[in-house]
Amino acid sequence: MTLEILTSDSLAPLRHGFFTRAGGASSGVFAGLNCGHGSSDQREIVSINRRRVAEAMGVPPDHLLGVHQIHSATAIKVDAPLPERPRADALVTATPGLALSVLAADCQPVLFADPKAGVIGAAHAGWRGALDGVLQSTVDAMVDLGATPEGITAVIGPCISQRAYEVGPEFFEDFIAEDQAFARYFANGEGDRMLFDLPGFGLNRLRAAGVGHAEWTHHCTYSDPARFYSYRRSTHGKEADYGRLISAITL
């Protein structure tokens, strides 16, 4: 089975992709292209999957870079392969031949590019990272390397959509404490539950950071089990673990 790679015309002609679970070597609950060493999948199988991604991105396996994701606002600038994964949630570079990647399974994978400046970025933005500023941090780190905010295009890949993202009142209160205007990203659910618009909030944060263009691919990870892994869907299904989707971009 071949890899399925979702792309955005807005990031062309840079090589990039939001990889689905198609075309991988994993089996069981991980069936497909599980790229997360943090999962309980066999390490060698995950490495095979990652090598397939590196090949699709046109880079050696050690040039497919990632971070140890911790739901932070930390963005790291890189110019060479990393001896170990730093604890952060975004990477930026102006060095050709490096593929920046992030993992997600409901959280937002966000790919950035300022083609004119020759600077790219990749961020993992769950609700906590998005609220704490990881998207702004990524833009700031790209600007440090010569990008301009208005020259940056940012694309949010497959993530959980509002109709599938039920949250409690304390979650809502965390956002309202930050800014009353964030109430617009919540809809009423059953009882005291609410439905949170994660990609809508991500687009808001990208626009607040001043990027020239921001979009979402409109793929919901929860609603399409054939193509995407989903932490929340796996939890609802009482599965032991879940796979991680990879998204990557290179100069």
- Domain layout of the chain by residue ranges: 16-161+197-250
CATH topology assigned to domain 16-161+197-250: CNF1/YfiH-like putative cysteine hydrolases (3.60.140)
The answer to whether the CB of 103 falls within 8 A of the CB of 49 is: no
- Token pair, residue 185, equals 């990203």
Cα separation values, 221 from 89, 93, 104, 122, 173, Å: 20, 28, 9, 18, 25
Q: Are strands 108-114 and 245-250 parallel, antiparallel or unpaired?
A: unpaired
The answer to whether the CB of 203 falls within 8 A of the CB of 184 is: no
Q: How many other C-beta atoms lie within 10 A of the C-beta of residue 117?
A: 16
Task: Compute the 3-state secondary structure of the chain and give helix, strand, coil in percent, each to the nearest 5.
Answer: 30, 25, 45
* Local confidence pLDDT in tens for the 251 residues of the chain: 799 999 999 999 999 999 999 999 999 999 999 999 999 999 999 999 999 999 999 999 999 999 999 999 999 999 999 989 999 999 999 999 999 999 999 999 999 999 999 999 999 999 999 999 999 999 999 999 999 999 999 999 999 999 999 999 999 999 999 999 999 999 999 999 999 999 999 999 999 999 999 999 999 999 999 999 999 999 999 998 999 999 999 99
User: Whose CA is closest to 231, among 118, 94, 108?
Assistant: 108
Q: Are strands 194-196 and 213-216 parallel, antiparallel or unpaired?
A: unpaired
Give the pLDDT of residue 1: 73
Q: What is the dihedral of CA 56, 119, 66, 87, to 10 degrees?
A: -170
Q: Phi, psi (5° rounding) for residue 175?
A: -75, -40
Cα separation values, 199 from 24, 81, 137, Å: 26, 30, 17
- Token pair, residue 250, equals 């290179």
Is pTM beyond 0.85 here?
Answer: yes
